[in-house]
Amino acid sequence: MNLQGKKILIVDDDFDYLFQLKFQITQWGCEVITAENQREAEIILENLKPDLAILDLMMESEDSGFVLSYKIKKKYPDVPVIIATAVSAETGMHFGISTDNDRKWIKADIYLEKGIRPEQLKMEIIKLLQ
């Protein structure tokens, strides 16, 4: 699948991670829109429907990524959402979407720990956009 021209929204409060991810995904031909927090992303989403969103979990609050994912799915149910986080490494808390119960309250299509290899991320994005 060609990712050329796909609009990818990336939301993360870690500027370095945001820059690196934007650079990588732009190399695949995608148009990347970034936000540094939940509120900024909500403003962007008022006028833009991305093809896919990649969200950090802990931003201005510990559950910002979950809240933002819920809002995206409510407004644009067909937009795939990836939550990419380092929450397990930072706090020892573990989340996932492997059970029906998890998927009921975590409104994301994929849950990834940060540190994912670019090739693996690209493969996940392609799967979600098919």
**How do the domains of the chain map onto residue ranges?**
7-129
> What is the per-residue pLDDT for 101?
52
pTM for this structure? 0.85
Q: Which tens digits make up the pLDDT trace of 19-47?
A: 999 999 999 999 999 999 999 999 999 99
**CATH T-level topology, domain 7-129:** Rossmann fold (3.40.50)
The Cα-based distances of 22 to 19, 25, 34, 65 in angstroms read: 5, 5, 8, 18
HSE-up (13 A, CA, CB side) for residue 11: 29
